[in-house]
């Protein structure tokens, strides 16, 4: 566990202190069932490091978010379901019920009833594709600030596997 808060329910789950079965675990994240499912399949993908919410992400967290997306899609594939039929996204502050970053994985979309809490037309929920655009902007913004470091850019390209990929840019000295 990289960092945690004692009063955070998701930190308790990540640390194994809560009675919540973990469906998938990596070095940086866990996936488990949502305790109040809003769809036939509803999971939470939670980083092990405590990050308050999506507004607290920085460009340095891009690899973590990409891992969340890729492992979430892979997990849905393991269930022999199509990730294209699922929503992957974050509630946008102040609409968080738990103040620990978590990506909702829910679907199939065609069987979900209307719920504004998971409709990206509202300010409440942001699908991962919108988050990647924000990261893309943040990365270019930092490049143009002329900071001497490596930058990660999130791209949703590979149409065959439809995975989120990382492209590493290195700023050349002038």
Domains, in order of start, for the chain: 9-129 (3.30.428.10)
pLDDT score of 80: 97
Cα–Cα distance for residue pair 131/12, rounded to 1 Å = 26
Radius of gyration of the chain (CA): 16
Tell me the pTM: 0.71
Please identify which of the residues 99, 100, 102, 104 carries the catalytic annotation. 102
100: annotated active-site residue: no
Residues 6 or more apart whose Cβ sits within 8 Å of residue 82 = 76, 108
Which is higher by pLDDT, 12 or 61?
Answer: 12
- Summarised one tens digit per residue, pLDDT across range 78-93 is 999 999 999 998 888 7
pLDDT cut 90: percent of the chain above it: 37
- Residue 43 and residue 86 in contact, taking contact as beta carbons nearer than 8 Å: no
Cα–Cα distance for residue pair 138/132, rounded to 1 Å = 10
- Residue 20 and residue 11 in contact, taking contact as beta carbons nearer than 8 Å: no
pLDDT over 50 (residue 109): yes
- Mean pLDDT along residues 101-113: 87
pLDDT score of 125: 75
Residues 6 or more apart whose Cβ sits within 8 Å of residue 46 = 10, 13, 14, 29, 30, 31, 32, 100, 101, 102, 103
Confidence of residue 71 (pLDDT cuts 50, 70, 90): very high
């Amino acid at each position: 566990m990289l960092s945690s808060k004692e009063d955070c329910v998701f930190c308790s789950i990540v640390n194994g202190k809560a009675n919540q079965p973990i469906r998938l675990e990596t070095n940086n994240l866990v996936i488990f069932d949502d305790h109040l499912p809003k769809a036939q399949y509803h999971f939470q993908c939670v980083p092990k490091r405590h990050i308050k919410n999506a507004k607290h992400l920085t460009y340095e967290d891009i690899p973590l978010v990409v891992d969340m997306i890729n492992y979430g899609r892979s997990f849905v594939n393991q269930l022999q379901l199509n990730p294209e039929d699922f929503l992957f996204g974050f509630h946008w502050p102040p609409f968080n019920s738990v103040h620990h970053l978590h990506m909702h994985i829910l679907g199939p979309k065609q069987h979900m009833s209307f719920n504004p809490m998971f409709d990206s037309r509202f300010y409440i929920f942001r699908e991962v594709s919108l988050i990647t655009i924000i990261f893309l902007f943040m990365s270019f913004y930092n490049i143009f600030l002329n900071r001497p470091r490596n930058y990660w850019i999130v791209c949703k390209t590979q149409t065959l596997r439809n995975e989120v990929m990382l492209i590493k840019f290195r700023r050349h000295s002038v």
